[in-house]
Structures are given as structure tokens and as C-alpha cells.
Amino acid sequence: MKPEDFELFSTLVKQRSGLILTPEKAYLLESRLFPVARKHNLKSLEDMAQAVRARREEPLLLDITEAMTTNESFFFRDQKPFVLFQQKLLLYLLSARKEKKHIRIWSAAASSGQEAYSLAMICLEEAAKFQGWKIEIVGTDLSREMVARARAGIYSQFEVQRGLPVTHLVKYFQQIAGDKWQIKENLRQMVQFREGNLLTNVGVEGVFDIVFCRNVLIYFDGPTKTRILDTISQMMYKDSFLILGGAETVLGISDKFKVVPGAHGLYIGQDSTYEL
């Protein structure tokens, strides 16, 4: 790819999603953009770059941005945050929210929905403790295509085996074709998916008790990380929880949050008195 074309695509993606593409990611750009070029009847990435320069048509720009935002996701990814959610955070809220009996959970950058559905499965496992409660789970993602996939809740045989115990497969999925499994209706109804961009229009309103925003910040530069954490902090209560990915931190990036000693990846507001 010509340097000026790489520059064009990476600037576009940065403006649209905040995602930074360094030159060593050029191979990734090429492999992901070829299908977009084909879809738009463009013979090469060079032609596509020209089309972007000449016409700046929204569908093409949107497809390029979507292709470049990563979508790796599996059920109960990394396990530990989910154990924490089930054994600590839900129990804390069970007592802290006992008056209003309402919990709101946000899976920011929900991708194809595995994280949000994993949380919903845990809520169902704990349902006996939360009788009469309203538990809302909302997933947002930048990508139209991902939001549609997440809503459908249909996963390949490969996807349902990554991270998901087989007992959960039996309990929460129905087999709709030889190698396709769909989340059962009752679980799908627990989760809403919407389009949202953490830099512009987050796609959700109101305040959340728990925000999962894992493996998102790693793709952004410092000032953008700060901005995203500011946005999230405005949508949390004083004692809400933020869960980041294993390689991410708020340290040196945001003064809105502090770490919870002993709980890797868990962050709380500066004024929260929560401890494990």
C-alpha cells in the first residue's frame, strides 16, 4: 500500500473511531479492507483510496471504519472479571440497591454480544437472590453489523466452545442448524444492543451500576483514553463499578477513578468507599 493511502485510511479511521493504526498494522489494514473494496466494486485499495478522496460517500466510509475496528470476543473471556461480578459486585449491589431493586449494567464495545450474554447468564444463575428486581443489561458497539449479530445471538460451533462451559450451552442455547447455536429467547430478552460510539454518541442514557469496558482503551491514545473515561464516569453513581481489560489501567490517565486493591481490572469512583 502506498504511504499516502495508508495515511488516508488511518486518518479516516482515527477520526471516525479514535482507533490508531500504526504503520506496522498495514498488513491488517490490507487484509480487512480488500473485502470492503470488493463490496464497493473497487479493484484495489488504491482505487478505494481514490474513491474516498473523490467522493467521501458515507456508506464506503462507514464500511471502512467498521472493518478496521477489532471484534475479537468470546464467552466469559478471561473468566476473572465474571467471577468478580458474580461473587462480589452483584452481592454488593444486592444490599446497596435494595430500596430501588434496580441494577443497570453496560457492556461498552459489546462486539458480537458474548460479554453481555455471559453477564446475563450469571444474572439468571443468581436469579433466586434477585426476585422482584429489574436487571437491565445494555450492550453498545460502534459497528452496525456487530449490533445486528449480537441481537440475533447466533454463534458458530467454534464460538460457543470458546470459554463457554458445555452445561451453559445446553441450558442457554438452542441448536438451529448443525453448527449454529442461538441464545434462547429468555436470555436474549434480558439484553439490549444499540449502536454507540464512545467518542461521539455513546448510544445509551442514564446512569449505570456496572460498566464493562474491556480491551477498548488499548486502541486509543492518551487524550482519547482520558476523554472516554470522563464520559463513562459521568454515567456512573458514586459507588458504581468500572471493569477494564487486563492490559488497561486508569493510572496516569484519569483522576475520576481509583483501583480496588486485590481486584485486578476493577475500578471505582474517587469518592467510593467500596473495598473487597
Partner 1 sequence: MKSCLIVDDSRVIRKVARQIFEAIGYSCTEAENGQTALDLCKTALPDFVLLDWNMPVMNGLDFLHGFRKLPGGDVPNVVFCTTENDLEHIQEALGAGANEYIMKPFDADIIRGKLEQLGLLES
Strand arrangement of the beta sheet that strand 180-183 belongs to: 154-156, 180-183, 173-177
Residues in region 221-250 near partner 1 by CB under 8 A: none
Q: Fill in the per-residue mask, 39 to 78: x = in contact with partner 1 (CB under 8 A), - = not in contact.
A: -----------------------------------x---x
Supply the minimum distance, in Å, between the C-beta of residue 170 and partner 1.
6
Please say which residue, 252 or 262, places its beta carbon nearer to partner 1: 262
CB 68 within 8 A of CB 17: yes
Angle at 209 between CA 149 and CA 170, to 5 degrees: 45
Tell which residue, 154, 164, 105, has the closest CA to residue 130.
Answer: 105
Query: Residue with C-alpha cell 450474554?
Result: 117
Q: Among 34, 92, 163, 231, which residue sits at the site for partner 1 (rule: CB under 8 A)?
A: 163
CA of residue 16 relative to chain centroid, distance: 17
Please say which residue, 175 or 189, places its beta carbon nearer to partner 1: 175
Q: Where are the alpha helices (DSSP H) in 126-206?
A: 144-152, 166-172, 185-188
- H/E/C letters for each residue in 118-147? HHHHHHHHCHHHHCCCEEEEEEEECCHHHH
Supply the minimum distance, in Å, between the C-beta of residue 115 and partner 1.
15
Residue 195 found at the interface with partner 1 (CB under 8 A): no
Supply the minimum distance, in Å, between the C-beta of residue 73 and partner 1.
13
Residue 152 found at the interface with partner 1 (CB under 8 A): no
Q: Among 28, 51, 124, 169, which residue sits at the site for partner 1 (rule: CB under 8 A)?
A: 169
Q: Among 165, 189, 201, 218, which residue sits at the site for partner 1 (rule: CB under 8 A)?
A: 165
Residue 128 found at the interface with partner 1 (CB under 8 A): no
Please say which residue, 75 or 274, places its beta carbon nearer to partner 1: 75
Q: How many residues bind partner 1 (CB under 8 A)?
A: 18
Please say which residue, 125 or 136, places its beta carbon nearer to partner 1: 125
Cα–Cα distance for residue pair 116/137, rounded to 1 Å: 7
Grid cell in block for residue 117: 450474554
Burial class (CB in 10 A: 0-12, 13-18, 19+), 244: buried
Residue 167 found at the interface with partner 1 (CB under 8 A): yes
Please say which residue, 71 or 231, places its beta carbon nearer to partner 1: 71
